[in-house]
Structure 1
Amino acid sequence: MSKPEAVKPKEQFVQSVFESIAPKYDMMNDLLSFRRHKAWRKFTMKKMNVQPGTSALDVCCGTCDWTLSIAEASGTGQIKGLDFSPNMLQVGQHKINRDGWKDNITLTQGNAMDLPYEDNSFDYVTIGFGLRNVPDLVQVLKEMQRVVKPGGMVVCLELSKPTWQPFKGLYYFYFQNLLPLMGKLVAKHYEQYKWLPDSLKLFPGRAELAQIFRDVGLDNVQAYPLTGGIAALHIGIKEK
């Protein structure tokens, strides 16, 4: 399917952001999340309970940390990673080669809104910290639902919106003011890291996103708040 013209400016801008920050993306993730993203992914993997030999697609795979975790859990299964940023994929491919997973993981540069895979292809389809950056999140979730097998799992790990005060106020002050400043000082990219808090403003909250999961045809939807609600895990199952 072709991309609507209206979404291309955002898509091109976001791609340029990740192309520029790719070399320091992993380091900045550790710094800006206080390494909490590792705990969030560990919790997610526990909930997914990836079975040996199963297949998976990691959408917006970036530098492939989650892709590798899924491959390690699956063991012999074929794992696909897709991202629109060649620079991010280059970093990810280096890790895959270094860790000895090149026979199990295949990376593709592509569009999350038009996945180049057949219907009912994967046991798991995941997206980590990428859904808030796409031009049309509903379309991406529809595509993920399309390519997962009946009975398979669609998983989204993403930043979210805390609701408890005063934590909410402190979080937004950090996210909107200090995070871009740290991006400027450490990674030498202010505008790119200013985009990250901007990308959360219009993103749905935890309950809203759970309803979108249901609306695209996923069942048994579960939503878990993480670290006071600053992140959330959403899981849905495709009807058999």
Structure 2
Amino acid sequence: MPRTNKTSEAKVQALFDRIASTYDSTNNAISLGMHKHWRKKTMEQVPLSVGDQALDLCCGTGDWTIDLAEIVGPTGKVVGLDFSQKMLKTAKNKLKQTNFSPQTSLIQGDAMSLPFENDSFDLVTIGFGLRNVPDAFQVLKEMRRVLKPGGMVACLETSQPENKLIYPFWYLYFKLVPTIAKLKHNKRQDYVYLQQTTQKFVHAKELKQMFQDTGLIKSSYTTFMFGACALHIGYKRK
């Protein structure tokens, strides 16, 4: 997946700034609320414990970041990183309503060039963000770099059904996504872009291969909702 130029990156960043205030309600409408179920199922598979350190990339409005912070407790550490200041502002407002602020940091940054030392985190996650970065392979390499030996990478992302009977219905639904989004967010074109990134992103099997190509071992994936979403996991060799 080729890296875009700086102008394109700035446009995508501006897009996420624009949709930040309505992102949660629009996401609920588009996914029929299923994104919460997918994240819950994902949390059941991540080997995170009290006192651990986790990094949540493309953290957006902070839902997954807060879930992680609840598990690691006051002796642990969670960092949520996103390139959109307005998304982070929403996440910070959510965080203030919890008891997890002491163990949680929210920072603006580039997922392709992480400001962390090698072997820093027990778990690195990315939820519905990998398809929107300029270079997904570079992000996976950075995730592996900052992961401690034996740690896990977890990626929750929209996917494409492999069942040929399901695919036409999935395709039709995602064609309607911008129209659904317009009910919550007045710029339909923003969600045309997000619909296109979903359709153009790699299939689940290809993403598993990308995990393996970055050196992540025991790579596997689980699909949800007939393949409309997939959880990929991989580990850094000890």
Structure 2 letter corresponding to 1:78: K
Pick from 182, 185, 188 the counterpart of residue 183 of structure 2: 185
TM-score (norm 1): 0.95
C-alpha contact (below 8 Å) 2:3/2:135 kept by paired residues: no
For 1:114 and 1:171, how far apart are their aligned partners in 2? 34
Alpha-carbon distance between aligned partners in 1 of 2:5 and 2:154, rounded to the nearest angstrom: 24
In the alignment, the residues of structure 2 paired with residue 134 and residue 186 of structure 1 have an alpha-carbon distance, to the nearest angstrom, of: 24
The Cα offsets for residues 156-180 of structure 1, whole Å up to 9 and x where unpaired, read as 000000122332111111112x110
Structure 1: gaps of 5 or more residues? none
Task: State whether structure 2 residue 98 is matched by structure 1 residue 99.
Answer: yes
CA distance in 1, matches of 2:181, 2:223: 26
The aligned counterpart of 1:75 is 73
Give the SS at the match of 2:86: helix
Q: Which amino acid aligns with 2:179?
A: L
State the 1:222 CA deviation: 1.3
Identity of aligned pairs, percent? 46
How many Å separate the matches in 2 of 1:164 and 1:5? 30
Partner of 2:33: 35
Name the residue aligned to 1:233.
231
Distance 1:231 1:9 in 2: 29
CA distance in 2, matches of 1:59, 1:126: 6
Measured in 1, the distance between the counterparts of 2:201 and 2:183 equals 27
Q: SS of the residue aligned with 1:103?
A: helix
Match of 1:10 among 8, 11, 26: 8
The 5-angstrom pairing of residues 1-240 of structure 1 reads 6-76=4-74, 77-176=76-175, 178-240=176-238
CA RMSD of aligned residues (A): 1.3
- Measure, in 2, the Cα distance between the counterparts of 1:222 and 1:129: 17
The offset of 1:10, in angstroms, is: 2.6
Q: 2: distance between equivalents of 1:10 and 1:130?
A: 16
Segments of structure 2 that go 5 or more residues without pairing to the other structure are none
Q: How many residues align?
A: 236
Distance in 1 separating the partners of 2:11 and 2:229: 24
Letter in 2 for 1:51: S
Q: Aligned equivalents of 1:201 and 1:32: distance in 2?
A: 15
Q: Distance in 1 between matches of 2:194 and 2:236?
A: 30
What stretches of structure 1 move > 4 A for 4+ residues in a row?
none
Secondary structure of the 2:233 match is strand
CA–CA separation in structure 2 for the residues paired with 1:5 and 1:125: 22
SS of structure 2 residue aligned to 1:162: coil
Q: 1:52 to 1:149 in 2, by over 3 A?
A: same
Q: CA deviation at 1:189?
A: 1.6
Q: SS state of the match for residue 126, structure 1?
A: strand
Distance (whole Å) between structure 1 residues aligned to residue 188 and residue 156 of structure 2: 25
Return the letter of the residue paired with 1:112.
A
